[in-house]
Chains A and B, each alone.
Chain A
Amino acid sequence: MSGKYETVIGVEIHVELGTKTKLFCGCSTDFGSEVNTQTCPVCLGMPGALPVLNEKALEFAIKAGLAMNCHVNEHSIFERKNYFYPDLPKGYQISQLRQPLSTNGYVMINVDGVEKKIGIRRIHLEDDAAKLIHSGDGEIDESVNSSVDFNRGGVPLIEIVSEPDMRSPEDMKAYCETVKSILEYIEVSDCDMEKGHLRIEANISRRKIDDHNIWTDRSEIKNLNSVRYAMRAVEYEVDRHTKALEAGTTLVMETRLFDVSRNVTRPMRSKEEAHDYRYFPEPDLVPIEPSRDWVEELLNSLPELPHERQRRFMEDYVLPKHDATLLTSDKKLANYYEECIKICNQPKIVSNWLLNELIALMGNAKQTIDECKITPELFAGMMRLIDNGTISGKIAKTVYEEMFNTGKSAESIVKDKGLVQISDESEIIKIVEQVIAENPETVQDYKNGKKNSIGFLVGQIMKVTKGKANPQLVNKLLAEKLQ
């Protein structure tokens, strides 16, 4: 049955740009300030107030377009999107519909080692709504009272609309992560999901692979504030659409919300009832006509992007694609890696440490690379201890974790905890003899040809030495003794 249908997914991502001030006024965009302290007549929609475009926001939006291979249009316009809601002080959002800033781009994604091109239909600029705070549970009409915090109102957003080029939740995940990574690389957004910098909407439908005329009406799933939720929501929808296709029932085209606690999506409002937004050109703003020179300059100013860096890592550091992809997906991790390489030129080994140890430690501690206590210098110090035989690779893992927690140098950790490797043959030989004496049966097994029983003996030796015995020496001496 699987393989009979395919999923068609298109994604819209709203990204809060990291400008200091709002899109159409000079108010600060700082997150977490006291409510309604970052407002002015413009972002409060006071009578007579007029918007003035923030040049920096335009620059950031153009950069995003260029980094995703879009055409930056010579002429684009703002339009008013009209609807009533208390979080929308003007009664309309200033957005772009018919002539968006950038069009026709793409990004390359990588799923299970396979590269895939995902089209970007358009990227446009718009202002964010304010934040509603309801007392009590539920939506506005169920709450006792509702308040509006206008600090977020007017913060610049770009909306990145993909082509429906994704065929699986994994494609979507890779796409979202690639877009996020590009935006971080070009430093136009902090992309902090917890602060709502990135909001994902997924459009999904299913169709028969061999007959595209048999398909389900799409669902639009709104306000997914993490890639993980987006995945879960889309997986749920894939299942729902498949069941509908198999049962021959029809689904209505509708907007659905993902219920995080119950892991399901539920309908929000059907498209049939959807608003008529009555878009029309915003008369208070002049058309956006960026000069070719400026766009060229912005293009030339773009930093190395994730896929370029990945390619470079594979060439310069001879890393496998898997390592290069993971390391470069996060700009800061990639920077950190390159800092480490500068003072400890063992690219693959360094990569192993970061990908196998550091990422897990950071995940458990909910830390970011910025907060990491292991400076490249500390890391190089530990590598030196391994190289000169002071500690074994196994001990190093303990040392590494301790460095991660405390920020102390490897030398001092090894000294404090007595973790110096035992490389004294005479000392090891005593223990080897002791273990052989204590395990005659295993020794007999070995001599009878069960060569892998040597592993047990090594383990016993390591146990006695608390892992500090030099493994090469243990292996060598044990083999000699068992001859």
Chain B
Amino acid sequence: MDLCHLTAHELHDMLINRKTSAIEIAKSVFQQIDKIESVIHSYITLTRENAFETAEKVDKKIASGENISPLTGIPMAIKDVMCTKGILTSCGSKILSNFIAPYDATAVKKLKDQDVVIIGKANMDEFAMGSSTETSYFGITRNPWDTNTVPGGSSGGSATSVSSGEAICSLGSDTGGSIRQPASLCGVVGLKPTYGRVSRYGLVAFASSLDQIGPFAKDVTDCALILNAISGRDEMDSTSVDLSVPDYTKSLINDVKGLKIGIPKEYFIEDGMDPEVTKSVQDAIKLLEKLGAVCVEVSLPHTDYGIADYQIISRAEASANLARFDGTRYGYRASDSDSLMDMYKKTRSVGFGSEVKLRIMLGTYALSSGYYDAYYLKALKVRTLIKGDFDKAFEKCDVLVTPTSPTPAFKFGEKMDDPLTMYLSDVFTVNCNLAGIPGISLPCGFSSSVLPIGLQILGKPFDEETIFRVAYTFEQNTDYHLKRPQL
């Protein structure tokens, strides 16, 4: 197999055993990019020169006998919503289509400190608003398993780059499922850590109380390695939590005996569910049971309110978070304005795409005088109820297992005209963000048309370890994660 299709831990072993070099790995990845990027379009920006410079530096370090970290020399893609110093950071939007970030996001900096080889900035739905990567100003990204289908979103490029060998692994961000859903649709592993586990400093905010950076990888082990690298308290982010970070590779245990797995009945609905997804997830649960886990049915009674709740909270926060894009200091500014107000209006009318404007308007409305109590305040209360559901469920079990997405990848344009249907793609993922808990998606099967299906495992706050253990055990006893798309 080409180097570009291997995992980070495999490549690391090869690097320390001098079986390959960082340059060779980077070359393999860029060869793949040259071959398929024109079709897949994982990237908004490629940083080829920087990548080879870093790779060269890494090879020198190895040659001089220096110890290297698990991710040193590993090619990674960064979702274009994270600031990268000196490099375009567009958020998939026209309004930032000329914005060169003056600093590195903390998560990016932590990767750079390990000499990760950054390949480029991955395509995404504009400002992470979407579930298909179709709202990007820079064009669509195609699912490597079927280029007529979407890769999911909003971290579509982060998912496809890993799935297609255009990167070994990547970083994405997840506000309502934006890591887990594309991971599911592209057949890779994606983790949304607990809110506060990873610093958000330098992550361009969509909904500050929901956003979290997390890894995409070809297997659970790589996910654990990346989480090790990016986690921890950051003085620059008040919401990052001051808890010691465990070594997540210690949780890669092929054993679930005695673990209690909760099956939330609200996540196994008939309506809008693809029967193939249901079957794959049920098979996965049976396998875990066979491996010694104890399955218990649990109830999360406020599940149905999740989408609506998420709409209000995320739009309200977004309406304020996106106010800074006003054409004054950076980014796109409309010309020929005849007053300040005119400049704001033209800049934002032209600079933002329609989905973003729709969300800003909804959020502005929800926060308006006279509506605040009815919408935003009520949404905060519902959020507390949803969180309470999980707290209660976790009294009975160690993790929850659900489908990640109700369907496999769908066709381009299929849901673009109907935002409400599109929003339902997130039905199984949003509540995890509202509750702030961690969740992973990993491959658990394929549809009859060979589209990947994802299994979601949700854990207690700051208990990514148990998630890793269950996911690792499932992975070790299946081979879905070993399949690669034919391109």
Chain A residues in contact with chain B, CB under 8 A?
A: 41, 44-53, 80, 82, 84, 86, 89-92, 140-141, 148, 276, 278-280, 283-286
Contact = CB atoms under 8 A, between A and B. Distances in A.
B372 A280 contact: yes
Given A86-B340, A141-B339, A278-B368, A41 B102 contact: yes
What are the 6 closest A-B residue pairs judged by CB atoms, nearest first? A91-B323, A283-B208, A283-B209, A278-B367, A47-B204, A48-B202
Contacts of A49: 103, 201-202
A46 to B, nearest CB: 7
A280 B324 contact: no
B141 to A, nearest CB: 21
A91 B324 contact: yes
A86 B376 CA distance: 27
11 contacts: A47-B89, A47-B96, A47-B204, A48-B201, A49-B202, A84-B326, A92-B320, A141-B340, A280-B367, A283-B207, A283-B317
A48 B328 contact: no
A82 B367 CA distance: 10
Given A47-B99, A90-B324, A52 B236 contact: yes
A53 B238 contact: yes
A280 B239 contact: no
B91 interface: yes
Contact of A91 (B91, B99, B326): B326
Scoring B320, B364, B372 by chain A CB atoms within 10 A of each residue's CB, the highest score goes to B320
A53 B237 CA distance: 10
B316 interface: yes
Nearest to B203: A48
B205 interface: yes
A95 to B, nearest CB: 13
Contacts of A86: 326, 328, 340
B205 A82 contact: no
A15 to B, nearest CB: 24
B253 interface: no
Scoring A46, A47, A48, A90 by chain B CB atoms within 10 A of each residue's CB, the highest score goes to A47
B238 A280 contact: no
A280 B96 CA distance: 26
Nearest to B208: A283
A276 B369 contact: yes
B83 interface: yes
A148 B328 contact: yes
B261 to A, nearest CB: 32
Interface residues of B, number: 45
A280 B207 CA distance: 13
B235 interface: yes
Contacts of B329: 44-45, 89, 148
B256 to A, nearest CB: 36
B268 interface: no
A276 B235 CA distance: 33
B323 A90 contact: yes
Q: Helix, strand, loop or mixed for chain A's interface?
A: loop
Contacts, number: 105
Interface of B: 82-83, 89, 91, 96, 99, 101-103, 105, 200-205, 207-209, 235-239, 316-317, 319-320, 322-326, 328-330, 339-340, 344, 364, 367-369, 372, 376
A366 to B, nearest CB: 38
A82 B322 CA distance: 11
Given A92-B320, A280-B316, A47 B101 contact: yes
B330 A284 contact: no
B145 to A, nearest CB: 32
B101 to A, nearest CB: 7
Contacts of A44: 329
Contact of A47 (B91, B328, B339): B91
B320 A50 contact: no
A58 to B, nearest CB: 12
B202 A280 contact: no
Given A47-B91, A47-B96, A92-B323, 15 more contacts: A45-B324, A46-B102, A47-B89, A47-B101, A47-B204, A47-B325, A48-B204, A50-B239, A86-B340, A278-B372, A280-B320, A280-B372, A283-B239, A284-B205, A286-B239
Nearest to B81: A48
Contacts of A48: 82-83, 89, 101, 105, 200-205
A52 B205 contact: no
Scoring B89, B91, B102 by chain A CB atoms within 10 A of each residue's CB, the highest score goes to B102
B400 to A, nearest CB: 25
Given A90-B323, A90-B324, A286-B238, A46 B330 contact: yes
Contacts of B340: 86, 140-141
Contact of B320 (A47, A82, A285): A82
Nearest to A139: B340
A379 to B, nearest CB: 51
Given A48-B202, A86-B340, A283-B209, A276 B239 contact: no
A373 B102 CA distance: 50
Contacts of B369: 276, 278
Contacts of B101: 46-48
B367 A47 contact: no
Given A50-B200, A53-B238, A280-B376, A91 B368 contact: no
B97 to A, nearest CB: 13
Scoring A50, A51, A82, A148 by chain B CB atoms within 10 A of each residue's CB, the highest score goes to A50
Contacts of A50: 200-201, 236-239
Nearest to A51: B238
B204 A80 contact: no
B419 to A, nearest CB: 23
Contacts of A82: 319-320, 323, 367
A86 B200 CA distance: 26
Given A44-B329, A276-B368, A91 B320 contact: yes
Contacts of B200: 48, 50
A47 B203 CA distance: 8
Given A41-B103, A92-B323, A84 B236 contact: no
Given A82-B323, A278-B367, A46 B238 contact: no
